[in-house]
Amino acid sequence: MAQSKVINGSATNSKAISKIKNLKVGKKYAVTISVASTVYLRNGEPTQYAPAAMIQIPGTIGVNWGITKFDLNGKQAEWVTKTIVFEAQDIEAQVFFASYFDEQYTDSHDKYLTYMHAFVAENAIVEIP
């Protein structure tokens, strides 16, 4: 999994990219993913919890652009789990993980900086018959 920071004006968030391999094109899969937001002391001051997280998997069923949003409001340092169903578009699927923020939120929070954790268990991906 590759990880980096994204800077967007006055906001910085974490993101990671990984791949799901050995897929069969046209087959449906379910993947269970858990995410959580945490704080970090930066220059002696805590950062903010992310209000949400997003996972993007090509071919995700029932969402726009393959993006599944996890609501983290009121769930500070708490794991939130969802199962995402997608149809394989290729033999590999690139998965994009990021803490989510919108301009309205960052404009109202000084020094906006978030961290997100993602967990995918060893057998979390299953083919749906």
CA distance 33 to 105: 25
Domain ranges of the chain: 2-128
**So what's the pLDDT on residue 12?**
60
| Residue among 26, 14, 16 at smallest CA distance from 58 | 26
**So what's the pLDDT on residue 26?**
96
Which residues touch 39 (CB under 8 Å, ≥6 apart)? Answer: 46, 47, 48, 49, 76, 77, 115
**So what's the pLDDT on residue 120?**
92
CA distance 5 to 3: 7
The helix or strand, by DSSP H or E, that contains position 23, with its residue range, turns out to be: none
In order along its 129 residues, the chain shows pLDDT tens digits of 444 445 455 556 667 889 999 999 999 999 999 999 887 666 777 777 788 899 999 999 988 889 999 999 889 889 999 999 999 999 999 999 988 766 665 666 555 567 788 899 999 999 999
Is the pTM of the predicted complex or chain greater than 0.85?
Answer: no
Residues β-bridged to residue 76? none
Fold of 2-128: Jelly Rolls (2.60.120)
